[in-house]
Amino acid sequence: MKNRVYDNRELSWLKFNERVLEEARDERNPLLERLLFQSIYGSNLDEFFMVRVGSLYDASLVDDSHKDNKSKMKPSEQLSAIFTRVRELIAVEDESFKTIHKALEPKNIEHKSMKSLTMQEAEFLEAYYAYEIKPFLSPLIIDKRHPFPFLPNKSIYVAAKLTSKSGVTLGIIGCSEKFQRVIFLPRQDDSIAYVLVEELIFHYTDKIFSGYKVEEKTLMRITRNADIDVDESFDRELDFRQNMSELINKRKRLCAVRLQLSKQVSEPLQKELCTRLELSKKQVFVEKTPLDLSYVFAVFEKAADKKELFYEPQTSQLSRMIDESRPMIEQVDERDLFLSYPYETIQHFIRMLNEAAKDESVVSIKMTLYRVAKHSKVIKALCAAAENGKEVSVLVELRARFDEENNIGWSKQLEEAGCRVMYGPKGLKVHSKLCLITRKTSEGVKYTTQIGTGNYNEKTACLYTDLCLMTANTQIAHEAEEVFRALSIGELVEDSKLLLVAPHCLQNRLLEMMDNEIAVAKAGGEGYVGAKLNSLTDKVLIDKMIECSQAGVKVEMVIRGISCLVAGIPGVTENVRIRSIVGRYLEHARIYIFGSGVRKNVYISSADYMTRNTTRRVEVAAPVLNDEIKQRIIELFETQMKDNVKARDMQPDGTYIRLPASEPLVDAQSRLFAEAYANVPKSKPVPNPEPKAEPVPEPVTQPVQAQTEVRENTENAQTQTNVEEKPEPVQNATPVEEPVKKKVFGQGSSRYSVVKVKVKKKK
């Protein structure tokens, strides 16, 4: 087959999720960490169906003639290809799950089938069912007097074909979320055996429908569309926060897009279920693996003492650049500071916020928030600053998918404390990670600006690889101030010099820098473009990279997820190398590099090379002007390009392969953590060159919005368990400091989530 230079976005994402599943199959990983990767694979797929398949389903109904601008596939063609590939991967998923559980049995962890129970175990479960489950069941039969019920997203049910003297009917039993999902069987030793509550209910189906004959039965789980257009659904009679609350409720009742079954059923029963749920046969998937693997965290907790089944704990370290005995802002005034998560701790940045909240010279703090932790220290610091009389302006992005309810709660809490809360402009999410602290000192107005690649979330900072830059550069501060000024009045930044600000000043500047490398290559020089990204979908940038390759520019990219550009095609992308790293931590940092040798310019950014980031979001990329920090980022990127343990290289046919292991082995994440632990003392760095003197405007104090009632924010438990779960590794080193509380088992499943889903538990 002739190589195609463009890959379809959805099929490329499925390749990424397949790489996650490969980690579940990798025998080098501890057994329960492999089970975690298996769970991540499943929760990722849930989100993919909810968001991407849901969007394509809507598009196929509105205008199925519209083709994707890269793969030229219509929505219906993309859906068909997705369903085919997902069905192929089910066999791999089932075999992986079976292998892991078979390997866990000698470790005294057993997921028991109802047929394999001992007499004592069967008696225990019989009593458990009688007292803990049976009184709370609400079985249904479907007939003219009992209509088919609404089945909530991702809930598990038993579906049974029932016969009686009056004919054939359908029976439904809900395996309510009120039930404890994992039922651990009594043990006298440290062995662990369990069954799932849906398996127990399934076992008793015949007794539940005792007045009928159960002809056949299956467990089933429905995935619903969660793609909803906020701006199209906007009600001008309501404020934005009220609108978001209404849309959250509306989203819960969108159409079904997938039906999972635990066993193959007859054609009539499958047809009945499809008719009731308005699904086609293509949207039905039969899986031997449990339909929802979120239960694994209960098993991890039970198995906490079996340390050989988990990664060795690692703890984020203090930065070698920072003196713990001195105020953070004072140190940033002297030179730029840099943090690399999770290797270095986010607590340095939180310390800076806490100091700013108390510092009498601080006049204002401005910040963007997209996703924050359950018990956010960042929110606490901002509230404290407002209560101390600082002007605190916070842009809270209420449209952060599946975090809307949490962010609504945070926005109310911030207002209650006296912060001025803003929301993003119509049609554009604010995804930038930007913080600006303004001080009025005896020397005049001074600024501290922080730019990051990841959320202000102390939990994800232990799970995701991200970068944080803190600087006192005046021009960067002025441009950051312009970003906040524009957002506060519903405008967008039209021009900037140092910062690259989407949607108007990012894509065009990236194209200019690539054009410069093309010119260098054509003149006989060494043109170079490097990037570390989550995803690459922007066709404008992709086409420019093809042009770079054909001009002789070397293009190297580490792209964890989607890549719509295919590398290594002779005469087209032969100078492009793309690799993906899927390992213990989720690769989340964005780095842009242009030029070779002394010409290298380095940026860190919140933006991927995706159309939504470059044209439909407010994003910020910042240049790295400090030579020491620039070199650290370049070395980080080069280490990832050398990874031969967790990296996969893209082939000219769009597939990914692991390179054969060779000495020296380079696991980039392990090496970077080892360096953080080593914490080698360095000579005191040279401060940044003093910027040229320029007039600095006085800060303008803006009125604080009226306070509103506070809402207790609860981070909703969900299949992904979000990012609240697990701890971090090391290579047999003694921690210098433990700023992040250790836990005893691996990380939360949202390490490899496409979107972070948070579904409120039903009462």
Binding residue numbers: 44, 371, 401, 464, 560, 588
Give 286: exposed, middle or buried? Use CB within 10 Å, 0-12, 13-18, 19+.
middle
Question: What secondary structure letter does DSSP report for 653?
Answer: T
Q: For the whole model, what pTM was predicted?
A: 0.87
Verify cis geometry, omega within 30 degrees of 0, for the bond prior to 135: no
Task: Specify whether the backbone of 465 is left (phi greater than 0), alpha (psi in -120 to 50) or beta.
Answer: beta
Adjacent-strand bridge partners of 618:
430
Answer yes or no: are the C-beta atoms of 256 and 213 closer than 8 Å.
no
The pLDDT value recorded for residue 717 is 28
| Residue 403 token pair | 């975090």
The pLDDT value recorded for residue 660 is 84
Binding residue numbers for Mg(2+): 371, 401
Q: Do domains 9-309 and 328-497+697-752 have the same CATH topology?
A: no
Asked if residue 416 has pLDDT above 50, the reply is: yes
| Averaged pLDDT of the chain | 88
Dist CA 311 CA 308 (whole Å): 8
The pLDDT value recorded for residue 424 is 85
Residue 431 falls in the annotated catalytic set: yes
The pLDDT value recorded for residue 230 is 55
Give 215: exposed, middle or buried? Use CB within 10 Å, 0-12, 13-18, 19+.
middle
Beta strands in 382-443 (DSSP E): 391-396, 420-422, 429-430, 434-441
Dist CA 202 CA 209 (whole Å): 11
pLDDT-derived band at 80 (thresholds 50, 70, 90) equals very high
pLDDT digits (tens, 9 = 90+) for 470-483: 999 999 999 999 99
Answer yes or no: are the C-beta atoms of 176 and 94 closer than 8 Å.
no
pLDDT digits (tens, 9 = 90+) for 443-457: 999 999 999 999 999
pLDDT-derived band at 713 (thresholds 50, 70, 90) equals very low
The pLDDT value recorded for residue 405 is 72
pLDDT digits (tens, 9 = 90+) for 332-372: 999 999 999 999 999 999 999 999 999 999 999 999 998 99
Q: Which strands make up the sheet holding 182-184, listed edge to edge?
A: 109-111, 192-196, 182-184
Dist CA 743 CA 29 (whole Å): 18
**Domain spanning 500-678: which superfamily?**
Endonuclease Chain A (3.30.870.10)
The pLDDT value recorded for residue 242 is 65
Q: Which helix (H) or strand (E) holds 531?
A: strand 528-533
Asked if residue 574 has pLDDT above 80, the reply is: yes
Q: Which residue among the candidates 111, 348, 431, 478 is catalytic per the annotation? A: 431
pLDDT-derived band at 519 (thresholds 50, 70, 90) equals very high
Could you tell me what percentage of the chain is helix, strand and coil, using 3-state DSSP and rounding each to the nearest 5? 35, 20, 40
Neighbours of 67 (CB within 10 A): 13
| Residue 144 token pair | 């003219």
Could you state, in order of their start, the residue ranges of all structural domains in the chain?
A: 9-309, 328-497+697-752, 500-678
Asked if residue 237 has pLDDT above 70, the reply is: no
For domain 9-309, give the fold.
polyphosphate kinase like (3.30.1840)
In this structure, of 234-238, 253-257, 517-521, 638-642, the range with the lowest mean pLDDT score is 234-238
Q: How far apart are the first and last CA of the chain?
A: 54
In this structure, of 263-272, 640-649, 722-731, the range with the lowest mean pLDDT score is 722-731
Question: What secondary structure letter does DSSP report for 104?
Answer: H
What's the mean pLDDT in 138-161? 94
pLDDT-derived band at 144 (thresholds 50, 70, 90) equals confident
**How much of the chain exceeds pLDDT 90, in percent?**
78
pLDDT digits (tens, 9 = 90+) for 315-327: 999 999 999 999 9
The pLDDT value recorded for residue 659 is 85
pLDDT-derived band at 300 (thresholds 50, 70, 90) equals very high
Give 316: exposed, middle or buried? Use CB within 10 Å, 0-12, 13-18, 19+.
buried
Asked if residue 492 has pLDDT above 70, the reply is: yes
Give Cα 103 to chain centroid, integer Å. 29
The pLDDT value recorded for residue 166 is 87
What's the mean pLDDT in 124-138? 97
Binding residue numbers for ATP: 44, 464, 560, 588
The pLDDT value recorded for residue 177 is 82
pLDDT-derived band at 99 (thresholds 50, 70, 90) equals very high
The pLDDT value recorded for residue 226 is 85
CATH architecture, domain 328-497+697-752: 2-Layer Sandwich (3.30)
Q: Which helix (H) or strand (E) holds 605?
A: strand 601-605
What's the mean pLDDT in 754-763? 38
